[in-house]
Structure 1
């Protein structure tokens, strides 16, 4: 629905009529989960911190049922708590989540229309900010990265397909409602997903697919010391890129997220393959591979066995009489894949841990640090016995050398992955700096309500959104390994010692 700029009275009547029409067409927004914070105790006094309405997607559910720390149900209460600390009253905070874009767009439109209708003299009221994380349909493999990873919402206004047409109408309705809100003096903070052609007052980006790929590749390069490798003894590296070719109804899935993850990986790893310092045991990656060759390493990953069989095949160990294949590093892309990679390597007989590779810390040192016995000191340590000799001090055979545990990377900070991080089976994971982002969003809302712009906030930078320079919240993602697990996850109360398997 297009909301035209006409006189205020006529516009409100038209919008209210539209809202009634939407209600008459069915309970389109009745499934939205709406939480009012103590509406019955509202005070007639104007609070200078203003009011905030938060609109987010309902949490996605992955088939694996494994849960990353990046969930909407986690960050929303943290934003609410931070808003209260910034002086926003509970009665001035509204929280709504929606399962799809159609319901969310109607929910936002209804809120804006009702707010305008109840605020005839808006300039005399305290400010209002809308925090909106647009709902997007995610494939199963995309959901494995958590709820926050950025997806651009685009549409074709002239689409003939009914599903595409419905999507376009929902997206346009959301954009129109947000623009109306801005025209009436409200502010908009757009979180994570962008909307085609729309520039908010402030943008709060989460991690992008390219950043997920770059982060893991950089950690792998550092741990394997790829800069010191040579073409005479290159590092053996595999990339496992999960994707879905079709959805449950057989319709073709959007694979752009997987493509961008690979692009990020190859921006970092590509030069090492080109120089011969890295090779792929399976031959799926070569010196001539470029960023467009994502399908060479992509595979269907909805089921555990698909991941395990793909890894065994890549290593040439899918036959009973196969000889061990040396593998130095595996970029698993997300923690769901990483856990299955570790399980399969165990089954195939690989031994040791990531801590054995170019060691600067020991597993015992990690355990002591996490449990609070002493601070972790990073320094060169003697090579693990797993590196070149067996328990009797004799030189290992080639097969034994080839069975050394590789570096495994992932993303999502799954609770189920924490024991593998602690024991060194998975070298690293990562996640958005969720608690800090929640505080930043809350501070931004109050500053917008009070001053009209996000001035003097040290986490605000300028970035281009929909062709317009836009104030943007900036926080780096958290790269997590056993060495910093205590500082990054346990001390900030993201996880407990029990979650880490301690």
Structure 2
């Protein structure tokens, strides 16, 4: 072997060793099929998280006097914390909150234009590179009328009907803003950015990941399922059915916007309908029956712009002409905590006593207090029927002087802090809300995986769905049903509320 050849070989070996050293430092490995070096995802540093831009609505001060625990400020803060936990630095996060679609579309347009200009690419990195990788998380700042705001700010609102709160000019402005948002997002995606859309789909744009929020049907279905579970309707006989009333409040001052109520009742009747048809449940007011369909929401809907209207509605359904008589009621599906609180007032006025925990004698108010303080667990047993007689062939009586004044279970949604004590003392059986911390933790993981170009299939909560209108990865929000038995674990331990909020 000549000296020239020897020098060449030594030079090649030196280069190979240097390349191996650099690859090891960077966390590289060799692809056995191609022989080329690849970067291991596990070796990426905090700097390789890329960037994330949040475009979320702000809380609306005029939405409702009753503020549900689920609001945009809470989700904003929780998402930032989750992103920080996953390694995103403050400098790599951009947060814009908007009170309207117009301001949101303008903010998004400015951000995308800035990121795509030459100076920005030099500062932040090209979006198609690891350093400049960017995920935009956006929830369109659509208007929510009070029909929606009593429940949660995280509502997907398809095809809202116009009401006196709306105007054609405003509708036109929102349509224009949505088109501008779609245009900006398409430019961002074409430049290599990733997009996660929360809530309402955006016409003319398809995101990388879709996160539909809560629907009216979800809220109604959830409470109906809790009614079925707590009253053990599957074990109920036709000769001794349960008395159930569904309260469907309409807080639109004009009374014209019924889309929320229609969707909610579909979810309710999907669950309760079979039990009414099997005559395992009945409505004391006869608003619901064997013949009710999912389209008959108006039979249980009423105007509820103030609590006195709710009290009057329930009294009209339960009061009888007999002075000492009262109508037996086992369960009230109140839809939200505002309606539940007014129902509690009405029941007290009519002489009902006890608590929902009396439906299950194994749980007392003292047991619940002990559980919240962390002293003892609570165990559920099968629900007894306080009104059941020894003769199972006897037809149910709607009015008696004693059993019919027993306190029913009442369901709601929203987890209003002001009404949490009603959960603790059992006057309200349960409330519901979106598990914000669980969902924001998953959204943060999605942003990280997208920026690192890792497989989204690694995230178990993501499922392919056509909810958006096309088959894309979809994250369905996790809902929490909260009663006194799990209030500590569901709300206090994660930091949603304090012991003081629970009136402890």
TM-score by length of 2: 0.81
Distance 2:277 2:295 in 1: 15
Once the two structures are TM-superposed, the CA of residue 484 in structure 1 deviates from its matched residue by 0.9
Count of residue pairs the alignment pairs up = 441
Provide the residue aligned with 1:106 in structure 2: 106
Provide the residue aligned with 1:177 in structure 2: 184
| 1:142 aligned onto 2:148 | yes
- On the 8 A contact 1:62/1:144 being kept in 2, the answer is no
| 1:279 aligned onto 2:285 | no
My pick for the range that moved more, 174-183 or 404-413, is 174-183
Once the two structures are TM-superposed, the CA of residue 212 in structure 1 deviates from its matched residue by 1.0
User: 3-state SS of the aligned residue for 2:94?
Assistant: strand
Work out which of the residue numbers 242, 252, 259 in structure 2 matches 1:235.
242
Once the two structures are TM-superposed, the CA of residue 174 in structure 1 deviates from its matched residue by 1.2
Distance 1:244 1:197 in 2: 33
Distance 1:151 1:382 in 2: 39
Once the two structures are TM-superposed, the CA of residue 141 in structure 1 deviates from its matched residue by 2.1
1:310-350, Cα deviation, whole Å (9 max, x unpaired): 11112236x89584111111000111111111121112211
- On the 8 A contact 2:46/2:87 being kept in 1, the answer is no
Once the two structures are TM-superposed, the CA of residue 196 in structure 1 deviates from its matched residue by 3.4
Provide the residue aligned with 2:210 in structure 1: 203
User: In the superposition, relative to structure 1, how do residues 154 and 346 fare at CA in structure 2: closer, same or farther (>3 Å)?
Assistant: closer
Distance 1:461 1:450 in 2: 20
Provide the residue aligned with 1:60 in structure 2: 60
User: In the superposition, relative to structure 1, how do residues 64 and 135 fare at CA in structure 2: closer, same or farther (>3 Å)?
Assistant: closer
User: In the superposition, relative to structure 1, how do residues 377 and 70 fare at CA in structure 2: closer, same or farther (>3 Å)?
Assistant: same
Distance 1:164 1:493 in 2: 38
Once the two structures are TM-superposed, the CA of residue 373 in structure 1 deviates from its matched residue by 2.1
Provide the residue aligned with 2:16 in structure 1: none
Q: CA RMSD in A?
A: 2.7
TM-score by length of 1: 0.82
Q: Where does structure 2 lack aligned partners over 5 or more consecutive residues?
A: 1-44, 390-398
Once the two structures are TM-superposed, the CA of residue 123 in structure 1 deviates from its matched residue by 3.0
Provide the residue aligned with 2:74 in structure 1: 74
Q: Which has the larger radius of gyration?
A: 2
1:219-262, Cα deviation, whole Å (9 max, x unpaired): 10111121222333221111111224555xxxx75422221111
Q: Where does structure 1 lack aligned partners over 5 or more consecutive residues?
A: 1-44, 389-396
Distance 1:413 1:91 in 2: 34
Provide the residue aligned with 2:349 in structure 1: 347
User: 3-state SS of the aligned residue for 1:480?
Assistant: strand
- On the 8 A contact 2:223/2:411 being kept in 1, the answer is yes
- On the 8 A contact 1:419/1:501 being kept in 2, the answer is yes
Work out which of the residue numbers 430, 436, 439 in structure 2 matches 1:437.
439
- On the 8 A contact 1:152/1:195 being kept in 2, the answer is no
User: In the superposition, relative to structure 1, how do residues 197 and 453 fare at CA in structure 2: closer, same or farther (>3 Å)?
Assistant: farther
Provide the residue aligned with 1:299 in structure 2: 302
User: In the superposition, relative to structure 1, how do residues 381 and 341 fare at CA in structure 2: closer, same or farther (>3 Å)?
Assistant: closer
Once the two structures are TM-superposed, the CA of residue 421 in structure 1 deviates from its matched residue by 0.7
Distance 1:284 1:330 in 2: 13
- On the 8 A contact 2:179/2:203 being kept in 1, the answer is no
Provide the residue aligned with 1:26 in structure 2: none
